[in-house]
Amino acid sequence: MAKLLIRDLAQVVSPRGPGFPVRGREAMRALDVVENGYVLCEEDVIVEVGRMADLGPVDGEVRELDGRGRAALPGLVDCHTHAVFAGSRAQEFELRSAEASYEELHAVGGGILSTVEATRAAGQDGLRAALERHRRWMLASGTTTVEAKSGYGLDRETELAMLRVVRDAGGVPTWLGAHAVPPEFSSADDYLDFALAEVLPEAAQLAEAADVFLERGAFDASQARRYLEACKEAGLRLRLHADQFTEAGGIPLALELGAISVDHLEATRPEGVRMLAAGDVAAVLLPVAALFLGRPMPPGRELIDAGAIVALASDFNPGSAFAESLPLVCSLACTQLHMTPAEALTACTVNAAHVLGRADRVGRLTPGYAADVLLLDAPDWRYLAYHLGGNHVAEVIQAGVLTA
């Protein structure tokens, strides 16, 4: 059995267990911090975490990693990305910088539909290569578990190819079959007839969850309901892109259908916050998307204080959030959403893992959990969020293997 001993760490830090999801300000701020510590992994699992002073002899073959001057954290969990895409939206970025809004570009066939065109043309091998490239960027920022959605194919072949490449790369695939209406359909209802009859049966075999973009110009609440009900029937967990630009009934629908999350929430008002606090649907906040599009920030502080389940994610995609770094997301959570560094860490580890149905095995640095460990080149774990736009990720161990 191969063992990996990470020794002499300045700090070993984990959201306190047990139990998930973690809700409320007190629980989200509760971390276990071991000073002068070690982490011992065996194969792909953490077997011990403790103080150097208590480290006993370790038998068998042991590979040692010097952790001096470093803080160890659980590998980060990105529970909302669109990491499979081809093409570029650099030109749109330029237009948006001074001339046009995201919604205006979407309405004239730019935006999501321009990525659909490039993604359809890439083929499965092209998509595989694109995802691998994006995964390398994410790993270098400390992400060891990643969800990725389809939604840039919107035809049978490309949607299924997207899900396949995510699954083959060890990611968590989500079928975003209702992202936009592709140009060959004249209405959202006609497109949904096709997607539910022709794509869902196979998508349900590949994906773990289904997602819909509930927004003016995309799908309305009754179309979202129809799509989600069919996906639930097929055994998928449910997620929604909701309240990004307008409140269009996403939160009540998510609660009624027992969705696992509603994501975005830049437009959510106090009543929506109250509803989420009273239910079990997680709020996945994507502050990079708000920043990138110059939109209001989602109500992170209010959601946590009210007792809602709060997770953070990158929303990594070529149009509204071209940034893969969860440390950057944590910086924005602290500076824009008024969350503390501990709340931000809990939100992109345990609670993000909960959204992906994996909180019993990833998101904590504790025995029995996956050997996914992030080492910062700083003796204080708060550098994760503190250094805005910096990258203190020194080493990333994924399933017991040193990767970056």
Which residues are near ligand NIG by CB under 6 A? 82, 111-112, 115, 213, 241, 244, 289, 315, 317-321
| Residues 146, 140: Cα–Cα separation, whole Å | 13
Selection from Fe ion, ligand NIG, none that 16 binds (CB < 5 to 8 A by kind) is none
Of 82 and 134, nearer to ligand NIG (C-beta) is 82
**Which residue is it, tokens 């990643």?**
146
Selection from Fe ion, ligand NIG, none that 119 binds (CB < 5 to 8 A by kind) is none
Selection from Fe ion, ligand NIG, none that 213 binds (CB < 5 to 8 A by kind) is ligand NIG
Selection from Fe ion, ligand NIG, none that 81 binds (CB < 5 to 8 A by kind) is none
Residue 108: which residues within 8 A CB-CB, separation 6 or more?
A: none
| Residues 126, 375: Cα–Cα separation, whole Å | 32
Minimum Å distance from CB 317 to ligand NIG? 4
Selection from ligand NIG, Fe ion, none that 150 binds (CB < 5 to 8 A by kind) is none
Minimum Å distance from CB 319 to ligand NIG? 3
Of 141 and 320, nearer to ligand NIG (C-beta) is 320
CB 296 within 8 A of CB 290: yes
Minimum Å distance from CB 180 to ligand NIG? 8
Of 194 and 245, nearer to ligand NIG (C-beta) is 245
Minimum Å distance from CB 82 to Fe ion? 6
Selection from Fe ion, ligand NIG, none that 244 binds (CB < 5 to 8 A by kind) is ligand NIG
Selection from Fe ion, ligand NIG, none that 112 binds (CB < 5 to 8 A by kind) is ligand NIG
Minimum Å distance from CB 332 to ligand NIG? 15
Which residue's Cβ lies closest to ligand NIG?
Answer: 319
Number of residues counted as binding Fe ion (CB under 5 A): 1
Selection from Fe ion, ligand NIG, none that 23 binds (CB < 5 to 8 A by kind) is none
The secondary structure of residue 286, as a DSSP letter, is: -
Minimum Å distance from CB 80 to Fe ion? 6
CB 234 within 8 A of CB 208: no
Q: In 3D, which of 179, 187, 182, 175 has the Cα closest to residue 148? A: 175
The secondary structure of residue 52, as a DSSP letter, is: G
Q: What share of the chain is helix, strand, coil (3-state, %, to 5)?
A: 40, 25, 35
Of 293 and 402, nearer to Fe ion (C-beta) is 293
| Residues 401, 404: Cα–Cα separation, whole Å | 9
Instruction: Please state, in angstroms and as integers, the Cα–Cα distance from residue 224 to each residue in 23, 71, 295, 380, following that order.
Output: 28, 43, 23, 44
Of 224 and 277, nearer to ligand NIG (C-beta) is 224
Bridge partners of 398, per DSSP, are 401
| Residues 329, 384: Cα–Cα separation, whole Å | 10
Pairing status of strand 393-398 against strand 401-402 = antiparallel
Of 223 and 320, nearer to ligand NIG (C-beta) is 320
| Residues 247, 266: Cα–Cα separation, whole Å | 9
**DSSP E strands: which ranges in 199-273?**
209-213, 237-242, 261-264
Which residue's Cβ lies closest to Fe ion?
Answer: 315
User: Which element (helix H / strand E) includes 7?
Assistant: strand 3-15
Backbone angles phi, psi at 256, to 5 degrees: -65, -40
CB 42 within 8 A of CB 2: yes
Of 141 and 244, nearer to ligand NIG (C-beta) is 244
Of 112 and 192, nearer to Fe ion (C-beta) is 112
**Which residue is it, tokens 């990158």?**
314
Of 38 and 102, nearer to Fe ion (C-beta) is 102
Minimum Å distance from CB 222 to ligand NIG? 19
Select from 1-9, 11-19, 307-315, 324-332 the region that touches Fe ion (CB under 5 A). Answer: 307-315
CB 22 within 8 A of CB 80: no
Write each residue from 313 to 332 as x if it is in contact with Fe ion (CB under 5 A), else as -, in one continuous string.
--x-----------------
Of 315 and 372, nearer to Fe ion (C-beta) is 315
Q: By CB under 5 A, name the binding residues for Fe ion.
A: 315
